[in-house]
Amino acid sequence: MVGLTIACVDGDPEARRETRDALVDGGHDVVSCGTVAEAADLVGTGDVDCVVTEYSLPDGTGLDLTGLIRERSPDTPCVLFTDATPDRIDSARHEDVVVEYLPRDTPNARESLGRLVENVVAQRTQVGYPLPPDEDERLAALAQYDRPGLDAAETFDRLTKLARARFGVDVAFVGVVDAHEERFLACAGEDWETLTRENSMCTHTILETDVMVVEDVHADPRFADNERLEELDIEAYAGVPLRTPRGATIGAFCLTHGEPRSFSESELADLRRFADEAMEQLELRRQLDETGEEGDPTTPPSPGTDTDRPAESEPDPETESATGPRDDHGGEQP
Amino acid sequence: MSVQRGGYTFEGLPLADVSPGTNLLVTGPALGGIRTLLLRMLLRGDRREGTLFITADTDGPTTLSDYAAVGGEHDPMRVGVVDCTETGVDDAGHNVHAVGSPNDLTGVGIEFSSLYESLYANGAERVRTGVYTLSPFVVYSSVKPVYRFLHTLTGRIRTADGLGVCAIDPDAVETETLSSLAQAFDGRVALRAENGETAIRVEGLSDQPEGWHRIEV
């Protein structure tokens, strides 16, 4: 993995230059700075894949910086590349930020740093949520449904309004889960646009083979301390994965409510139907886009089109992964 | 670093060799022999291997003496402990590094990375890492840093062709939590203790014995 954009943070110009040179020699772009404040601004642009920082900085520590990064761009990995030994690092004020650590006196430190940075980015080792085992293939599949011109907003607006009325819930939405955030294609009852993956309940739904129901968010340890859900007034949730004909899960059709509640079998059966309908709409648009058909994409498919079975023309994600997914590190703005 | 060929072996246990870079979740009741099972899985195949413990339920000295009791040789150059108990103290002579609390996942991760690098620097060709147990980390921390910690730990082990063995008592955490934590692992070794008999079963890994197999703990 080459061509990453890495922020190199060190108050000592000479040490900073050495670290920068090591990373540039590895084929990466490096932006350098000397303070916590400058580095936090750099990461806030959303263009940084990884941060490599000395522990001791003129206006704080590398862990202070990591704390800011966890607030602004939580998935961005941080590596402490430092002369400080573990006993000199005060982690007590930042017990939950979790960083990689590489001592500068490690044998072949320059090469080790390059490998470490590439690994933490490729393996997404500092994300605060579970990852599906087929994450790379899943993101490649999502890219096939996430192209300009495949807009299904009006259709999904209708579907989510219908769902909200059918289930009597506060919010019904269709969301796709990309590399770093969930994006809401339609959201009846609220105007949510994005939610970071670590705060999104759909992050967990895409791990399921069927519906995920959380009758009381406060009673579920996966979500009980998620302050963002509280801000959004989410107390109950039901979501069905959106699964492509080839089996990749790209998002979910979901309901949320401001009070704990249960969902009957009949309701869950209907929720699955809503999810099936949403996925068929996405699949139809993908097929129309691929065959280059012009005209109104909401026109029903021609006779013989069967969206219930795998489309012969759906690209194999394994062979088309060069088309990367949106890679937006920006913060949530629901 | 050079890497030995072949998988990790488990002498005396009904487990086939496991590929380098594998992370295993070991589940079972806390008092049912899971600790002994983990210690035996961390016995070095030969002296070129290293072993690293991250311990939150028992302190460093106890861990090392229990390791010796199942046949583990304590070579401080190749074996070390990250002691996360609240009573833990540094002991350079025995390569024990105290963090002070399982809450401090940042500190645990830094000590782990430092010790992991030092074992390789001391000549270990590959390293077995054991966590006993994950439960205190899960119980005392919020879930996001626990996922970060687990991804960091398993990522390092995967990249370095190491072996990761993390124990957890399913009764100590919610079912949903255990299920989502399991995503970070390549497979599971389940232990059960019933009617005075202890048995294990491997799930999620190929080329392993099928079904339950009795073990002595």
What's the pLDDT tens digit per position in A156-186? 999 999 999 999 999 999 999 999 999 999 9
What region, left, alpha or beta, does residue A247 occupy, with left being phi > 0 and alpha being psi -120 to 50 degrees?
A: left
Residues forming CATH 3.30.450.40 domain(s) in chain A: 135-319
Q: Which among B130, B178, B179, B124 is positioned nearest to B154, based on CA atoms? A: B130
Cβ count near A183 (within 10 Å): 18
The answer to whether the CB atoms of B109 and A207 lie below 8 A apart is: no
Please, what sign has the CA dihedral across residues B202, B206, B211, B216? negative
Quote the percentage of chain A above a pLDDT of 70.
87
Output the pLDDT for position B1: 42
Neighbouring C-beta atoms of residue B13, cutoff 10 Å: 16
A333 contacts A194 by C-beta, under 8 angstroms: yes
- Bridge partners (DSSP) of residue A177 are A182
The Cα of A66 is separated from the nearest Cα of chain B by a number of Å equal to 11
DSSP codes of every residue in A69-81: HHHH-TT--EEEE
Asked whether the beta carbons of residue A103 and residue B142 sit closer than 8 angstroms, the reply is no
Lowest mean per-residue pLDDT among A55-69, A292-306, B143-157: A292-306
Q: Which residues from chain B sit within 8 angstroms of residue A132, using beta carbons?
A: 183
Q: What is the DSSP letter of A255?
A: E
pLDDT band at A112 (very low <50, low <70, confident <90, very high): very high
Of the partner residues B145, B152, B158, the one whose CB lies closest to the CB of residue A96 = B145
Question: Which two tokens mark A140?
Answer: 């490649």
- Could you report the per-residue pLDDT of A259-275, keeping only the tens digit for each? 999 999 999 999 999 99
Q: Is B145 exposed, middle or buried (0-12, 13-18, 19+ CB in 10 A)?
A: buried
Question: For the CA atoms of chain B, what is the radius of gyration?
Answer: 16
Instruction: Looking at the structure, give the CATH architecture of the domain made up of residues A135-319.
Output: 2-Layer Sandwich (3.30)
Q: What is the C-alpha to C-alpha distance for residues A187 and B28, in angstroms, rounded to an integer?
A: 43
The answer to whether residue A65 scores a pLDDT higher than 80 is yes
Is residue A240 a contact partner of residue A263, using CB atoms and an 8 Å limit? no
The residue of chain A nearest to residue B159, with distances taken between CA atoms, is A119
Residue A238 and residue A227: Cα distance in Å, rounded?
19
Q: In A, what residues contact B, Cβ < 8 A?
A: 63, 74, 80, 85-87, 89, 91-92, 94-103, 106-107, 112, 115, 119-120, 123-133, 198, 204, 207, 220-222, 225
Q: Do B104 and A91 touch (CB under 8 A)?
A: yes
Checking DSSP bridges between strand B187-194 and strand B22-27, what pairing results, if any?
Answer: parallel
Q: State pLDDT tens for residues B68-80.
A: 999 999 899 999 9
Sorted by sequence, the CB contacts under 8 Å of residue A31 that are 6+ apart come out as A5, A6, A7, A8, A42, A48
Residue type, A188: A
Half-sphere exposure of A51 (CA within 13 A, CB side): 37
Please provide residue A159's backbone torsions phi and psi, each rounded to the nearest 5 degrees: -60, -45
In tens, the pLDDT along B80-134 reads 999 999 999 999 999 999 999 999 999 999 999 999 999 999 999 999 999 999 9
Cα(A133)–Cα(A280) distance, rounded to whole angstroms? 24
Q: Residue A125: its chain B contacts at CB < 8 A?
A: 148, 151-152, 154-156
Interface-testing mutation among A112, A125, A205, A215, with chain B (most B C-beta atoms within 10 A): A125
CA–CA min distance A150, chain B (Å): 32
Round to whole Å and give the CA distance between A201 and A222: 9
Contacts of A222 in chain B (CB under 8 A): 143, 174, 176-177, 180
CATH architecture of B22-205: 3-Layer(aba) Sandwich (3.40)
Residue type, A312: E
Q: A305 to chain B, minimum CA–CA distance in Å?
A: 37
* Percentage of the residues of chain A whose pLDDT score is greater than 90: 79
Residues 6+ apart with CB under 8 A from B56: B84, B85, B102, B131, B132, B133, B135, B136, B137
What gap in Å lies between CA B61 and CA A115, rounded to an integer?
A: 34
- Could you give the CA distance from residue A251 to residue B4 in angstroms, rounded to a whole number? 42
Averaged pLDDT score across all residues of chain A:
88
Average pLDDT, integer, range B191-212: 94
Residues B134-162 have a mean pLDDT of 95
Residue among A92, A112, A123 whose CB faces B104 most closely: A92
Token pair of B15, please?
């487990």
Quick one: pLDDT at residue A207? 95
What pLDDT is attached to residue A303?
38
* Residue B1, min C-alpha distance to chain A (Å): 10
pTM: 0.89
* Confidence grade of residue A332 (pLDDT, cut at 50, 70, 90): low
Chain A hits for B142, Cβ within 8 Å: 96, 225
Contacts of A74 in chain B (CB under 8 A): 144
A-B contacts at Cβ under 8 angstroms = 118
Strand-pair partners of A100 = A79
pLDDT at A42: 92
Q: What is the pLDDT of residues A292-319, one digit of tens each?
A: 755 444 444 443 333 333 443 444 444 3
Residue type at position A330: G
State the span(s) of chain A assigned CATH 3.40.50.2300: 5-122
pLDDT score of A45: 82
Among the partner-chain residues B103, B159, B174, the one whose CB lies closest to the CB of A119 is B159
Residue A96 is predicted with a pLDDT of 96
> Which one, of A330, A292, A285, A277, lies nearest residue A311 by Cα?
A285
Chain A nearest CA to B145, separation (Å) = 5
Instruction: Compute the distance between CA of residue A88 and CA of residue A100 in angstroms, rounded to an integer.
Output: 16
Chain A residues whose CB is inside 8 A of the B180 CB are 130, 204, 207, 222
> Among the listed ranges A317-321, B32-36, B43-47, which one has the minimum average pLDDT value?
A317-321
The whole-number average pLDDT for the span B34-50 is 95
CATH of A5-122, one of 3.20.20.140, 3.40.50.2300, 3.40.50.970, 3.40.50.740: 3.40.50.2300
In the structure encoding, which two tokens stand for residue B121, read together? Answer: 């620097």
CA distance A159 to A254: 11
Q: Could you tell me the pLDDT band of residue A1, with boundaries at 50, 70 and 90?
A: confident
- The whole-angstrom distance between A122's CA and the closest CA on chain B is 10
